[in-house]
C-alpha cells in the first residue's frame, strides 16, 4: 500500500499506487495522467482487476488511451464494444418488464442504471449494468412481483426480508448462460430488483419524510430511443446521494457512484435554476444528508460546486465535518483492507440512543454467515479466487476463516481509530 495525497483537501488514504494514479487521472479540475501512463504491465493487470468490480473500467476507457499499453487499449476497446451490445439487452429486458407491469396495472419508476445518462454518465454504453432497479409503491409491490414472475422471473434467494433491505429478493431468469470471466458479456442475463421504498428508515435509523414526495414528482424521460418513467431531476440527485450514503454506512464500494456525482456537480456548477429548484424542493435536513455525498465528490475528484452546494457542505454540523475530515479516505481503503470507520459517521447521523446501539451491534457483531452455496464463498474482496483442486467444503472453510479474521481485524482497527480520535479531540 502506498499513501496518496489528494490535492483537493490533503486526504491521505492507504491505497495501492496504481489505484492512486487512476484517481489522479479522474480528477475533474486538474486531471493528471502522468503516473497512469507510467504503469507497468503488472500494475495495469492489478488495476484492471480492481476496476472491473469497482465499475471504473469504462471510466478508464474515456481517458486518452493512446498512451496506454497496446494490450490495455485492445482490452478496453473490447469492453466498450461488449457493453454497447449489452446495453441493447438492457433496453429489451426493461421494455419486456415494463410491458408486464403495465399489463398488470402497476405504475413504476426506474432508478439508477441507465437513468444516470446523460447528466452523470455521458452515454449509457459507458456504464456497466448487471440489473434493472424498479421502484413501485409498497401497496403494489406484490402485484409487480407476480407480474414479473408470470413472464419467467424467479427469486434468487428467499432470505432477504423487507426490514433488512429496500427491495425484494432479486428476480432472475434461469438460463443456460455461464460466467466466462467477462463482466461486460452481452449475453449475461440481467436481474431485476423491485424496490418498495427509496429510503429504509428502519435499517438506517434515519427518518426522511421528504422521500415520500419523490413519487408525486415523478416524470418521463427518453434516451437512446426509448422512454421510461423516472424521478424528477432534483429528486434523482437526492436519491442518488442517499444511495451513496446508504452504501457508505453499509461498507460497500462507492467510488464509481461518487465519480458520477462529481461529474454532475462539476457540469452543473453554474446552473442557478437547477440549484434553486433543488433548494426549494428539499428540506434542510434532507439537503444536509445529501451534502455528505457531495463532500466526498469534492474531496475525491476536485469538482466545481455551485455556491448553494458549497454553502450546504459548509453547514454540515461541526462534529460531522470533523468525522468526514478524519475518515473520508476510509471508504477507499476498505476496497483493499476492510474497515468500519463508517460507523462513527452513521452514529453521528442518529438521534436516539436505542438506534445507535442497534447500529453498533450490527456493525461489530456478525449477524449472518453465507451458506456453502453462497457466491461469496468464491470471492475475496469482490474478486474471484482460484478453485481448481479444491472441494466445496475446502472453499467454504477458507471463506469462514478469512471472513472471521477480516471481521475481527476491522473491528479492532475501527475501535482503535475511533478512540484515538476522541483522545486527540480532548487534548
Q: Taking residues 224-249, what's their average pLDDT?
A: 96
pLDDT at 163: 44
Last residue of a domain, one of 205, 231, 257: 231
Band of pLDDT at residue 279, cut at 50, 70 and 90 = very high
Same-domain check for residues 417 and 275: yes
What residues make up the domain containing 334? 233-371+392-427
At 179-232, the pLDDT tens digits run 888 999 999 999 999 999 999 998 899 999 999 999 999 999 999 888 999 999
pLDDT at 390: 62
Whether the Cβ atoms of residue 289 and residue 211 lie closer than 8 Å to each other = no
Q: Are strands 131-135 and 191-195 parallel, antiparallel or unpaired?
A: parallel
> Which residues, at least 6 apart from 288, have a Cβ–Cβ distance to it below 8 Å?
312, 315, 316, 317
Same-domain check for residues 146 and 263: no
- Residue 60, in any domain of the structure: no
- Residue 85, in any domain of the structure: no
* pTM for the predicted model, two decimal places: 0.88
- Residue 66, in any domain of the structure: no
Same-domain check for residues 337 and 248: yes
Residue 107 predicted with pLDDT over 70 = yes
Q: How many angstroms separate the CA atoms of 320 and 354, rounded?
A: 20
Q: How many angstroms separate the CA atoms of 414 and 340, rounded?
A: 5
Residue 355 predicted with pLDDT over 90 = no
Alpha helices in 162-306 (DSSP H): 201-204, 233-249, 255-267, 272-281, 284-301
User: CA angle, corner 339, sides to 241 and 258, nearest 5?
Assistant: 25
Same-domain check for residues 122 and 205: yes
Last residue of a domain, one of 196, 231, 266: 231
Lowest mean pLDDT among 24-33, 211-220, 341-350, 366-375: 366-375
Band of pLDDT at residue 249, cut at 50, 70 and 90 = very high
Q: What is the mean pLDDT of the chain?
A: 86
pLDDT at 386: 58
Other beta carbons within 10 angstroms of residue 188's beta carbon come to 18
- Residue 69, in any domain of the structure: no
| Number of domains composing the chain | 2
Last residue of a domain, one of 177, 210, 231: 231
- Residue 267, in any domain of the structure: yes
Same-domain check for residues 290 and 341: yes
pLDDT at 383: 56
Amino acid at each position: 500500500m502506498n499513501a496518496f495525497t489528494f490535492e483537493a483537501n490533503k486526504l491521505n488514504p492507504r491505497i495501492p499506487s496504481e489505484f492512486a494514479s487512476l484517481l489522479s487521472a479522474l480528477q475533474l479540475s486538474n486531471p493528471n495522467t502522468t503516473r497512469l501512463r507510467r504503469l507497468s504491465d503488472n500494475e495495469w493487470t492489478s488495476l484492471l482487476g480492481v476496476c472491473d468490480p469497482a465499475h471504473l473500467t469504462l471510466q478508464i476507457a474515456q481517458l486518452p488511451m493512446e498512451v496506454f499499453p497496446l494490450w490495455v487499449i485492445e482490452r478496453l476497446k473490447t469492453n466498450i464494444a461488449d457493453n454497447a451490445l449489452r446495453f441493447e439487452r438492457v433496453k429489451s429486458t426493461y421494455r419486456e418488464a415494463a410491458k408486464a407491469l403495465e399489463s398488470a396495472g402497476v405504475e413504476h419508476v426506474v432508478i439508477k442504471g441507465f437513468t444516470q445518462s446523460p447528466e452523470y454518465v455521458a452515454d449509457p454504453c459507458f456504464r456497466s449494468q448487471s440489473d434493472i432497479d424498479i421502484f413501485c409503491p409498497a401497496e403494489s409491490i406484490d402485484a409487480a412481483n407476480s407480474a414479473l414472475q408470470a413472464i419467467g422471473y424467479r427469486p434468487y434467494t428467499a432470505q432477504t426480508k423487507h426490514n433488512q433491505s429496500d427491495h425484494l429478493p432479486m428476480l432472475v431468469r434461469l438460463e443456460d448462460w455461464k460466467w466466462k470471466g467477462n463482466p461486460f458479456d452481452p449475453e449475461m442475463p440481467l436481474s431485476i430488483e423491485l424496490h418498495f421504498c427509496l429510503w429504509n428508515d428502519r435499517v438506517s435509523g434515519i427518518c426522511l419524510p421528504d422521500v415520500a414526495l419523490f413519487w408525486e414528482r415523478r416524470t418521463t424521460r427518453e434516451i437512446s430511443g426509448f422512454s421510461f418513467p423516472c424521478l424528477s431531476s432534483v429528486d434523482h440527485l437526492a436519491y442518488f446521494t442517499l444511495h451513496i450514503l446508504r452504501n457508505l454506512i453499509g461498507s460497500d464500494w462507492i467510488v464509481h457512484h461518487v465519480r458520477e456525482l462529481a461529474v454532475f456537480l462539476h457540469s452543473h456548477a453554474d446552473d442557478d435554476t437547477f440549484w434553486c429548484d433543488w433548494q426549494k424542493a428539499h428540506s434542510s435536513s434532507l439537503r444536509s444528508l445529501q451534502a455528505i455525498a457531495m463532500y466526498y465528490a469534492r474531496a475525491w475528484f476536485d469538482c466545481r460546486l455551485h455556491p448553494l452546494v458549497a454553502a450546504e457542505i459548509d453547514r454540515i454540523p461541526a462534529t460531522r465535518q470533523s468525522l468526514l475530515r478524519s475518515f473520508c479516505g476510509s471508504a477507499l481503503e476498505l476496497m483493499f483492507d476492510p474497515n468500519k470507520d463508517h460507523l462513527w459517521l452513521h452514529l453521528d447521523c442518529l438521534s436516539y440512543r436505542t438506534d445507535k446501539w442497534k447500529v453498533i451491534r450490527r456493525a461489530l457483531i456478525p449477524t449472518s454467515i453465507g451458506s456453502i452455496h453462497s457466491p461469496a464463498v468464491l470471492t475475496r474482496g469482490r474478486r474471484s479466487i482460484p478453485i481448481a483442486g479444491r472441494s466445496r467444503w475446502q472453499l467454504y472453510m477458507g471463506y469462514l476463516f478469512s471472513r472471521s479474521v477480516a471481521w475481527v481485524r476491522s473491528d479492532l482497527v475501527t475501535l482503535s481509530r475511533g478512540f484515538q480520535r476522541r483522545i486527540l479531540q480532548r487534548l
